[in-house]
Structure 1
Amino acid sequence: MKTSIAVILVMATIIGACNSSDKKADGAKDKYEQTKESLEETEKKNPTRFLSVTGHDKKNLLGQTVVKGTLSNSAKVASYKDVEIRLSFYSKTKALLEEDVETIFETLAPGKSADFKTKYFAPKGTDSVALKVMGAKSE
């Protein structure tokens, strides 16, 4: 009698231990999914935090300013498209001469980059061009 009670207690303990680890694993998966969803929401609401632009400019034979650059997406989950970039044209004394907005119609997957090229008749006296990401649509 004592032996059968001991066997039943041991079996109940083993079964209980197996079930509790499964529940913990399910809880960990749920927490991971919640974290992933909240990360995606944050990335979609703040595209300017995760998008960056670099570039350079030169003059062509027609007198146009050619701006070549690279857009980069540092987000882990969100993809962006139709990125708006502000181009600021400055003189040698760093006075702002003109600003224009250019939309780059590319889709940027998480962690990816895309090259772009645009041409402008920049204002007279332009020495440099600054680029800044203004916004984007999330996919």
Structure 2
Amino acid sequence: MKRMTALVFVTAFVIGACNTGDKKTDAAKDKYEQTKETLEETEKKNPARFLTVTGHDKKNLLGQTVVKGMLNNTAKVASYKDIEIKLFFYSKTKALLEEDVETIFETLAPGKSAEFKTKYFAPKGTDSVALKIVGAKGE
């Protein structure tokens, strides 16, 4: 009888210990998914925080200002599309001459980059162009 009781206790303990491990694994998976969702929500709400733009400009033969640039997505989860860039046209004395908004109709996956090119008839006296991310749609 003592052996039977001991066997029942040992079996119950082993079964209980096995189930506890599954609960820990499930809890860890749930926490990971919640963190991932929270990260994705944060990235989608703040595209300007996770997108960067660099570029340079030059004049072509027609007198247009050609702006070539590179978009980078530093987000870990979120993809962005229809990225809006604000262009600032400055004179030699750094006076702001004009502002324009350009939309780049591409989808940029997490960790990826994309090149773009646009042309403008910039205001007279333009010496340089600055670029800034204004917004984007989360995909």
TM-score (norm: length of structure 2): 0.97
The equivalent residue for 1:42 is: 42
Partner amino acid, structure 2, of 1:61: L
Query: Unmatched 5+ residue regions in structure 2?
Result: none
The equivalent residue for 2:57 is: 57
How far apart are the structure 2 equivalents of 1:96 and 1:14? 74
Partner amino acid, structure 2, of 1:56: H
How far apart are the structure 1 equivalents of 2:81 and 2:3? 70
Deviations 1:47-83 (A, max 9, x none): 1111110000011111111000011111111111111
The equivalent residue for 2:132 is: 132
Question: Runs ≥4 in structure 1, deviation > 6 angstroms?
Answer: none
Which residues in structure 2 correspond to 1:1-139 (within 5 Å)?
1-139=1-139
Identical positions, percent: 81
**RMSD of the alignment, in Å?**
0.8
The alpha carbon displacement at 1:2 in A equals 1.7
TM-score (norm: length of structure 1): 0.97
Deviates more, 1:48-57 or 1:4-13: 4-13
Partner amino acid, structure 2, of 1:77: V
How far apart are the structure 2 equivalents of 1:82 and 1:8? 65
Query: Unmatched 5+ residue regions in structure 1?
Result: none
